[in-house]
Chains A and B, each alone.
Chain A
Amino acid sequence: MHFHFLDPYLPRDSAIHALDPRIKLMLAIGFILCVALMPSGAWMAYALAFALMLAVILFSDLGVIAVLKKSALALPFVLAALPLIFTAGGPALATIGGVAISASGVARFVSIAVKSWVSLQMAIVLASSTSFPDLLLAMRGLHFPRIFVSIFGLMWRYLFVLADEALRMMRARAARSGELERSGPARSSYGGSLAWRARVTGGMAGSLFLRAIERGDRIYLAMASRGYDGEIRAFPLPRIPPDQWLVFGMGLVALVLLLLVALLLSGV
């Protein structure tokens, strides 16, 4: 169950969920780095990385289809790499309307898309299997600046409050016909001109900001009156049990092997 629709965390009783967040964060970033380092066209290694990813998704009990669906949503960015298939040069694969499509360009484009897609799945599994307090703990454990971790933590607490506030404002605007109607007679159903709609939205952003700044003052006063002196106190980090270190070691070995396969097979 979500406690807020924005929260990506999905509680499950899985091995991935039970992994220490520090190890999970390090391995996830290691995996993404490893995929980024793979040369383009190393199809065998991509397949291995994808298989590893599938195994992680299966272990995490998040649902293969659900994760794959979610990862497809964020893919439109590949459009940025699409021109490569025309400009990369080399032997032509086909010619459409007098423009040559280069074979190496297609290979590079598909490589970028696949690498991006697999990395995205890892990021999704990380976010869905680790609650935010655990992520904060991982950041503390990996020695992110403490003050930064504190700001992150506070931001997270108020994210839902302010997101709900923004949604309420949007509902209020829709109720007062500031919304663009998509059906009905052309002019009459429009809530004002484009500039008017933008200005209304700006007004919402402005008052959201003013409310936030005042809320920030109130939060500070509430914290100060409960003994806050600028120092964020936290429980000491829990120790990582030896079997989790073992998982970490195995994960690292797997990543190194994956990278070796990628480099060896592409003949570098």
Chain B
Amino acid sequence: MLLKPVAMHIPDGFLSVPVAIFLWVVSIIFIAIALRRVNQTLGERQVPLMGVLAACIFAGQMLNFAVAGGTSGHLLGAALAVILLGPWASILVMTCVVGVQALLFQDGGLLALGGNIFNMAIVGTFVAYATYSLINKMAGGKKWGVFAGGAAAAWLSIFLTALAAAIELAASGTSPANVGVPAMGAVHALIGIGEALITVGALSVIYAARRDLLAPGESSSTTSSRTVLVGGLLMALALAVASPLASANPDGLEWVAEQQGFLDKAQPAPFQVISGYNFPGVGNVEVSTILAGIVGVLVVLFLVMAIAYSRRRKITNYELRITDKEATTRNS
């Protein structure tokens, strides 16, 4: 089918209602911040530009290349959007893409849409932004920074988005973490390579044709983008720590889910892991601590962003790029 980009869209029925609602709330907060941010920098240009770019990412996901045996690589586009538009505009664009996919093409459920937005638009964007700007900084504005940063951002955004989805499924009790997390991780580690290759190909065209759009450097100079950078790093870190622990102690996640009343009460006992794999108390405590940690990180993140937002600065990276671009269009 033409319209199946990456098997990452969670359908309805797979997220428990509390998990789905929690992710909706988180996503709505991020989208609200992104709407304000982008409105500040773009003003009345926001609607046409974001609309067309969302359509562009949607269409870009149709582009595929043959890999082998009838399988093909696709583009998800979160990393490309972040690199070219900055984090907030990318959240909006990806939200629109995921939203239209769910609403019209049943790629991902309607109730699960909050979770899908969180995974693809928010985790993908933050992680890609943090990776790209860190590597770019290390490269000191040299050419390789754009490509190495782009490749790493593309791969990591796919990989961590998949891990986030797997953890959400495990927390909903629909996919045991000891199988789901490694499986999702392994599959998407491969899919991520395709994404990285396509992203690098796209960046090399843009680098040749419109280098101004890739303006590296000053990206971390404003409070807001530094917050995104730190947030992205924390998300990446949290997922990197949580996934192996969760997959080693699947009963832990299940246990947390049950404690929270996430699972149906009628369910019989929690997971019996294959024998010889018993970390009774320790595993549970560990994993629940990490889950609590993730929630804590998110809460702190909101606070930091709220503070950063209240001390807003007008000029962000994106505006610089826009004005840059205007200058070049006028010159040409």
A residues neighboring B (CB under 8 Å): 6, 8, 28-29, 32-33, 35-37, 39-41, 70-71, 73-74, 76-77, 80-81, 83-84, 87-90, 104, 108, 112-113, 115-120, 123-124, 126-127, 132, 135, 145, 147-148, 150-159, 161-163, 165-167, 169-170, 178-180, 182, 194-195, 197-213, 215-217, 219-220, 223-224, 228-230, 232, 266-268
Contact = CB atoms under 8 A, between A and B. Distances in A.
Contacts of B14: 77, 80-81, 112, 116
A165 B59 contact: yes
18 contacts: A89-B270, A112-B13, A119-B109, A119-B111, A123-B106, A123-B109, A150-B51, A151-B96, A155-B96, A162-B56, A166-B60, A180-B67, A202-B199, A202-B204, A206-B204, A208-B56, A220-B48, A230-B47
Contact of A212 (B56, B67, B75, B265): B56
A33 B110 CA distance: 9
Contact of A36 (B13, B64, B106): B13
Contacts of A154: 47-48, 50-52, 55
Nearest to B46: A147
Contacts of B329: 217
Nearest to B329: A217
A87 B271 contact: yes
Contacts of A135: 103
Contacts, number: 305
A71 B268 CA distance: 31
A266 B100 CA distance: 36
A157 B100 CA distance: 12
B142 to A, nearest CB: 20
A58 B211 CA distance: 55
Given A165-B59, A201-B64, A90 B269 contact: yes
Provide the main secondary structure of the chain A interface: helix
Contacts of B10: 77
Interface string B32-54: 10010001000111111111111
B124 interface: no
Contacts of B70: 182
A228 to B, nearest CB: 7
Contacts of B145: none
A202 B68 CA distance: 18
A212 B11 contact: no
B105 A216 contact: no
B298 interface: no
Nearest to B193: A198
A165 B120 CA distance: 24
B168 to A, nearest CB: 11
Contacts of A157: 51, 55
Contact of B63 (A127, A194, A204): A204
Nearest to B72: A180
A151 B46 CA distance: 8
Nearest to A150: B47
B135 interface: no
Interface stretch (B172-180, B232-240, B280-288, B302-310): B172-180
Given A35-B12, A123-B12, A159-B100, A28 B203 contact: no
B13 A33 contact: no
Given A145-B35, A206-B201, A210-B210, A198 B73 contact: yes
A87 B273 CA distance: 7
Nearest to B210: A210
B12 A119 contact: yes
